């Protein structure tokens, strides 16, 4: 089993995914034995153009598991769990298909992402089924935590 990597936000984790490369191409497992407690649905979000922002929402029950399978993206997370020792902490994580990672987002953390390349594709494995009449989420505008989406030189 690959190790979960801790982040600044309690409960938010990443797992570097082992990539197998040979003359046919490459393969990596998105979910293996990373202690996924429950499985509800899988979906893919594709952004045809760089710079598309999908933010923000948080779940009350669901855990999201994210992996970029094409392109690259920057994710922004803000802990909104008042009982958490990392309440109000912000974390930014960038991932790509060239160094695949699984990001595990527990309930109560606002999250969103921006595509850094054209034709970026995200696969999400969510712990719960979608209830369209009573969604397990709350949404806020993408500028709720300031200008976090622009790529800044370092």
Domain ranges of the chain: 4-139
- Tell whether omega for the bond before 38 is within 30 degrees of 0, i.e. cis: no
What is the Cα–Cα distance from 82 to 6, expressed in whole angstroms? 20
| pLDDT reported for residue 110 | 98
C-alpha to C-alpha distances, 57 to 20, 29, 154, nearest whole angstrom = 34, 26, 28
Alpha helix stretches (DSSP H) within the chain? none
Span 4-139: which CATH code?
Answer: 2.60.120.10
User: pLDDT class for 1, splitting at 50, 70, 90?
Assistant: low
Q: Which of 32-41, 44-53, 54-63, 118-127 has the lowest mean pLDDT?
A: 32-41
Length of the chain in terms of residues written:
154
């Amino acid at each position: 089993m690959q190790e979960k990597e801790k982040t600044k936000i309690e409960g938010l984790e990443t797992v570097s995914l082992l990539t197998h490369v040979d003359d046919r191409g490459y393969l990596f497992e998105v979910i293996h034995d990373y202690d996924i407690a429950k499985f509800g649905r899988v979906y893919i979000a594709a952004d045809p153009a760089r710079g598309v922002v999908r933010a923000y929402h948080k779940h009350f029950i669901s855990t999201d598991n994210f992996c970029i399978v094409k392109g690259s993206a920057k994710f922004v997370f803000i802990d909104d769990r008042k009982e958490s020792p990392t309440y109000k902490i912000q974390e930014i994580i960038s991932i790509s298909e060239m160094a695949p990672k699984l990001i595990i987002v527990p309930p109560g953390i606002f999250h969103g992402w921006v595509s850094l390349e054209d034709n970026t594709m995200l696969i999400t494995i969510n712990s719960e089924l979608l209830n369209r009449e009573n969604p397990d989420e709350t949404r806020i505008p993408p500028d709720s935590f300031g200008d976090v989406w622009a790529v800044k030189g370092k």
